[in-house]
Amino acid sequence: MNAADDARSERAELDELLRRLDGISDGDLPFRAQRPIKEHLMREIEQAEQTTRRRSWRPLYLSLGVVAAACAVAVSFTLTGSHSKEPAKAARPEPAAVQLLDRVALAAGSAPAPVVRDGQFLYTKTVGQSVTLSEIPGGGGKMEKIPSDESAEFWHSVDGSAGWTKRTARGTETFPPEGPPNLNGPTYRFLESLPTDPDQLLKLIYEDTRRQHGAGSGSTTGPDQQAFVAIGDMLGRVQAPPGLSAALYRAAARIPGVVLVPEAKDAAGRTGVAVARVHQDERTEWIFDKQSLRLLGSRTVTLKDSSWGKAGETVSTRAIVAQGVTDRPGQLPRG
């Protein structure tokens, strides 16, 4: 097969991928640009047919990543890629997910910063559900799923001096400060102190996850998955400074195994596009609004039939429905 035949074969593959890609219709796209981007990609393939026979091979997974990125976030870019082989144990981030996270970072970085002062509290209201497993008495080891309402309101002290408060349907709890703030228990002031260079930030995160979840730690999570979880927790716990939010998203785009999910629904029933990572047959997703690219929430989905449920069922889900600044716990933000 010559270079022209290879190019035509790749074009046919790309056409088929465009036809099969579900979950995002033209009306769902954030920038209403599916057709121009498809035409752009088609022109790239046509140009490939006219190039010299010294053609670089772009595997099918890269084409799929480019198409998914174009359809999910409507970002026009030239079809290029690295030809280096990645170790099997560390799959490279999916190009589609990298493109989405870059667009999310741009949106997050341009958002207004919350106006806060020491002594105030960052308010977050969430709705959510989770499932736990409990052994059935006399059931011969069989397990039953127990759903739990995880909806709550949180008040986190801006400087950490007053701890944080959580209010649920079961009541209100106040938690005093537990030592200095850190990556796993940050305050707004702590987040302000973190580097906004994505590489420096990711290095800092990995220093912690390798120490807590690396070789010899006894953890089954692993540094890569825990880095993804830690970033998600920092983004979902309190409002972060815009520059740091952007850096966190760009840092996440460097984590091996990050993929794009064209359609996902949060705990509030809102449908968005997601970035995710798979670990031990579960997919942890961050869900974004397709128009504003604002973080809606997160969920964990099982990918195989198990005691947790059928493949595709949600194990836990959380949606951020309100945020703001208050002067004391229990108070709601103005407006």
pLDDT digits (tens, 9 = 90+) for 278-288: 999 999 999 99
289 and 209 housed in the same domain: yes
Phi, psi of 166 (to 5 degrees): -125, 130
Task: Write out the residue range of the structural domain in which residue 154 sits.
Answer: 106-326
**pLDDT value at residue 297:** 97
120 and 158 housed in the same domain: yes
Count Cβ atoms within 10 A of the Cβ of residue 190 and give its class: 0-12 exposed, 13-18 middle, 19 or more buried.
middle
246 and 181 housed in the same domain: yes
142 and 39 housed in the same domain: no
What is the band of 128 on the pLDDT scale with cuts at 50, 70, 90?
very high
Average pLDDT over residues 85-91: 47
Out of 19, 51, 85, a domain closes at: 85
**Listed ranges 83-97, 139-153, 165-179; the one with the highest mean pLDDT:** 165-179
Residue at 243 is within a domain? yes
219 and 267 housed in the same domain: yes
Residue at 117 is within a domain? yes
DSSP structure class, residue 128: E
Residue at 101 is within a domain? no
Residue at 333 is within a domain? no
Integer distance in angstroms from the first to the last C-alpha of the chain?
66
- Please list, in sequence order, all residues whose beta carbon lies within 8 angstroms of the beta carbon of residue 332, skipping any fewer than 6 positions away: 123, 324, 326
Long-range contacts of 222-227 (CB under 8 A, 24+ apart): 222/279, 224/90, 224/255, 224/256, 224/257, 224/277, 225/257, 225/277, 225/279, 225/284, 227/202, 227/255
Residue at 185 is within a domain? yes
Out of 85, 120, 146, a domain closes at: 85
138 and 59 housed in the same domain: no
Q: Six-digit token pair at 75? A: 């970002």
The mean of the pLDDT values for the chain is 79
- Please list, in sequence order, all residues whose beta carbon lies within 8 angstroms of the beta carbon of residue 270, skipping any fewer than 6 positions away: 287, 289, 296, 297, 319
295 and 213 housed in the same domain: yes
Percentage of residues of the chain with pLDDT beyond 90? 60
4-46 pLDDT per residue, tens: 565 455 445 444 433 443 333 334 334 333 444 444 444 444 4
196 and 292 housed in the same domain: yes
Do residues 197 and 247 touch, judged by C-beta distance below 8 A? yes
How many structural domains comprise the chain?
2
Average pLDDT over residues 264-291: 96
179-211 pLDDT per residue, tens: 899 999 999 999 999 999 999 999 999 999 999
Among 23-37, 139-153, 230-244, which stretch is predicted with the lowest mean pLDDT? 23-37
62 and 171 housed in the same domain: no
**pLDDT value at residue 6:** 52
23 and 126 housed in the same domain: no
Outline where 21-129 has alpha helix (H). 34-49, 60-73, 95-109
279 and 314 housed in the same domain: yes
Helix (H) or strand (E) holding 319: strand 314-326
Residue at 91 is within a domain? no
Do residues 138 and 164 touch, judged by C-beta distance below 8 A? no
Out of 26, 51, 85, a domain closes at: 85
229 and 277 housed in the same domain: yes
Residue at 94 is within a domain? no
309-331 pLDDT per residue, tens: 789 999 999 999 999 999 999 99
Give the predicted TM-score (pTM) of the model.
0.73
Residue at 202 is within a domain? yes
**333, pLDDT greater than 50:** yes
